[in-house]
Amino acid sequence: MQKPVNGFSKLSKTEKIDWLLDTYFEDSETAKALISQYWNDDTSLQQLHDEFIENTISNFYLPLGIAPNFLINKELYAIPMAIEESSVVAAASKAAKFWLDRGGFKAEVLSTQKIGQVHFTYEGNPDELKAFIDTIKPRFFDDSASITKNMEKRGGGILDIELRDKTKELKHYYQLHATFDTLDAMGANFINSCLEQFAETLKQEAKNHLERDLTIVMSILSNYVPECIVKAEVSCSIDLLKEKDIPKPKVFAEKFKQAVTIAEVEPYRAVTHNKGIMNGIDAVVLATGNDFRAVEAGIHAYASKSGQYSSLTHCSIENGVFKFWIEIPLALGTVGGLTKLHPLVKFSLQLLKNPTAKSLMKIVAVAGLAQNFAALKSLTTTGIQQGHMKMHLMNILNQHEATPLEKNKLLEYFKTNTVSHSEVVSKLKSLRN
């Protein structure tokens, strides 16, 4: 029976790899060659990557693609997307091109507040607690002044702190609910530092002024940011929707709207619908060095704000005008974190004209809307598999180690034939025989 390893984090990188190979791999030489194949030849760059996280043994690469021709608020962008899924970049690019001559995308930031909370319990009188918090509220601002100084110089900082009584949900449970504006920083470290200072102030003041014990449970920001909202939309006359695969634009518009409405009322459809939106959002969030897990969690919570999980996008047809839009919470940053460390993150931000956090919010929202438009356009016209499987074709060929000649012949064949995994394998075997 295998024994646990002790002190793994204290081992050198070489020692970590040797232990993994000896413990888990029969063919250790092949595994070692694979790990080292993905190291960067530039030792300083590799060290930078090694220090992003703990216990690193290699790098795990994702393709970085570009979706060009995005007209956003009358300005043209080429959007970087880091993603492994076939057809995502192609779909975004097609949507961008479709709307380029139809007015492009419009986007606006509606609000930028972020949330942090100090969670605590108190068994005394609620009115006494409320009066106490009102009295010491200025102390929270004063005691955290050294933390907020630089943020306030730039125009951000703590917006408000309030007591929230949650005892109906959980016995003796209260919150200090704080709102922040972190400007171009995502602000997680800033918010958490402020919250921990609030907790310390609360604890010390409670000892002096409250008769009953107050217990701090934890202090942490929230990734649910329903007051940090961006909206993106496209619209045009229904007649302008006409193109090769939309011969009857009125029929298309009505069917498209019905597809959106289904996602608004049917959670099983809404999850897949929103997953497609996140294909676009996550890819740009990753490429710009932001936290896609936080973005995912906040957006999916927002999709459930009515009590039922629902579509993030909406569609209307009024007075002969087709309109399609998205409204989502996005807490993003363009300074701090990986933005100044990861070379390709810096490249991506430069490509996007070094945006502010608000500008990046607009770009990311547009990427999600474009992805959803492309998916719904395919679903309501030709079907999604035709385009997706053609993009997936190269992955199937690589999986079966097709030669360049075999790839060329099969790419030509499947230009006019339906792609399926079994059909690709069959044609490949036929070629080889």
Residues noted as catalytic: 85, 275, 291, 388
Closest CA to 176 of 212, 214, 210, 225: 214
Angle, helices 343-351 vs 267-287, to 10°: value is 100
> How far is residue 233's CA from residue 368's CA, in Å, rounded to a whole number?
11
Angle at 358 between CA 289 and CA 367, to 5 degrees: 65
Angle at 295 between CA 291 and CA 301, to 5 degrees: 150
| Location of structure tokens 């230009």 | 415
DSSP secondary structure of 111-159: ---EEEEEEEEE-S-HHHHHHHHHHHHHHHHHHTHHHHHHHHHTT-EEE
> How far is residue 194's CA from residue 149's CA, in Å, rounded to a whole number?
11
DSSP secondary structure of 198-245: HHHHHHHHHHHH-SS-EEEEEEEE-S--TTSEEEEEEEEEGGGG-BTT
Please give the backbone phi and psi of residue 128, each rounded to the nearest 5 degrees, phi first: -60, -40
Asked if 352 contacts 384 with a C-beta cutoff of 8 angstroms, the reply is no
Other Cβ atoms less than 10 A from the Cβ of 160: the count is 10
Other Cβ atoms less than 10 A from the Cβ of 251: the count is 12
